[in-house]
């Protein structure tokens, strides 16, 4: 496989994963092609996907050249997201999950012509372990660019404090150290601290099996989304609305997922689930981010549409 083909495969898969995630319908508690949440519309996600592409390309080139710049790439992609579309923070979590995966996938193609999932898994681990305090600072700056009102107070590396940058430098805190205080309530932080164990060991295999059963991308993505939401409270809901509401959503997801498992049509069940929360403005954003990561991994390894 020529270098251009490798780049095309990874970049195309990254952009397609974001497009398919937001296009999945009827996805409960989320923006989709027919549903806006507050001032965020379907078109904002399409615009974000277009404008972050250069940062994804740079992450691919990093991986092909065995460089590691995930913090800087996350910051650059986030800045582009905020500058070039009007929906504000559409995709920070997806960007944070995809950049290490993109870099790891490119690294796996340095001397090979095929993406092997185990290679990507090992490279993600290596990349996360090789991060430095500089990556942590870039990621914190990316988060702060969004002027977050949803941050939960943590004991260490609290970026709402004036001296957060000095604290990270003093401890030489890499990305895993930075995320350690958040991993119990934030699944993106959990993935960073645990080398994407949810994506590789749970979510990706589940999606593959769903696709084998349905032979339909939309239905498989829907089922995977509801299944993931049924297993863990969504981090974004937890931050914005608190544990009780997040747990209620999870239990409802569990109820709807059981109906799907009993043989009910996934589209019909998902539409009913979606209708239940349509006026609430509750957004299961982190679960959508995790779905995008699964779709990316699928597109680079086996799935062609």
Q: Tell me, what CATH number does 100's domain have? A: 1.10.4200.10
Q: Which residues of 204-226 are buried (b: 16+ CB within 10 A; e: fewer)?
A: bebbbebbeeeeebbbbbbbbbb
- pLDDT at position 189 is 96
* 48 phi, psi to nearest 5 deg: -55, -45
- pLDDT at position 95 is 98
- CB 95, CB 141: distance < 8 Å: no
- pLDDT at position 151 is 72
- pLDDT at position 154 is 79
Written as six digits, the tokens of 45 are: 């996600």
- pLDDT at position 149 is 67
Range of the domain at 126: 3-301
Q: Is the pTM of this model over 0.95?
A: yes
- pLDDT at position 160 is 82
Per-residue pLDDT of the chain (305 residues; tens, 9 = 90+): 899 999 999 999 999 999 999 999 999 999 988 899 888 999 999 999 999 999 999 999 999 999 999 999 999 999 999 999 999 999 999 999 999 999 999 999 999 999 999 999 999 999 999 999 999 999 999 999 988 766 767 778 888 888 999 999 999 999 999 999 899 899 999 999 999 999 999 999 999 999 999 999 999 999 999 999 999 999 999 999 999 999 999 999 999 999 999 999 999 999 999 999 998 989 999 999 999 999 999 999 999 99
Of 117, 285, 128, 138, nearest in space to 207 by CA: 117
- Helices 285-301 and 117-129, packing angle to 10 deg: 130
Number of domains into which the chain is organized? 1
Q: What size, in residues, is the chain? A: 305
**Helix/strand/coil (H/E/C) assignment for every residue in 220-284:** HHHHHHHHHHHHCCCHHHHHHHCHHHHHHHHHHHHHHHHHHHCCCCHHHHHHHHHHHCCCCCCCC
């Amino acid at each position: 496989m020529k270098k251009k083909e490798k780049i095309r495969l990874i970049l195309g898969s990254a952009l397609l994963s974001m497009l398919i995630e937001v296009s999945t319908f009827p996805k409960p508690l989320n923006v989709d092609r027919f549903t806006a949440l507050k001032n965020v519309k379907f078109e904002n996600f399409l615009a974000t996907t277009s404008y972050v592409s250069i940062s994804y390309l740079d992450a691919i080139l990093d991986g092909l050249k065995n460089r590691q710049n995930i913090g800087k790439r996350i910051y650059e992609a986030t800045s582009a997201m905020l500058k070039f579309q009007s929906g504000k923070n559409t995709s920070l979590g997806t960007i944070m999950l995809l950049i290490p995966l993109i870099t790891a996938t490119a690294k796996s193609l340095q001397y090979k012509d095929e993406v092997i999932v185990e290679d990507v898994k090992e490279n993600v681990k290596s990349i996360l372990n090789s991060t430095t305090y500089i990556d942590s600072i870039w990621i914190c700056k990316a988060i702060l660019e969004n002027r977050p009102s949803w941050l939960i107070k943590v004991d260490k590396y609290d970026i709402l404090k004036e001296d957060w940058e000095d604290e990270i430098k003093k401890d030489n805190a890499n990305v895993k150290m930075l995320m350690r205080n958040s991993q119990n309530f934030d699944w993106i932080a959990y993935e960073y601290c645990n080398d994407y164990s949810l994506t590789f060991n749970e979510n990706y295999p589940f999606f593959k099996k769903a696709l084998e059963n349905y032979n339909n991308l939309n239905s498989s993505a829907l089922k995977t989304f509801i299944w993931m939401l049924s297993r863990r409270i969504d981090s974004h809901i937890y931050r914005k609305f608190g544990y009780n509401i997040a747990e209620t959503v999870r239990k409802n997801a569990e109820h709807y997922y059981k109906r799907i498992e009993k043989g009910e049509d996934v589209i019909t069940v998902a539409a009913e689930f979606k209708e239940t929360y349509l006026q609430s403005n509750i957004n299961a954003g982190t679960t959508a981010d995790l779905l995008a990561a699964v779709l990316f991994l699928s597109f680079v390894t086996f799935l062609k549409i």
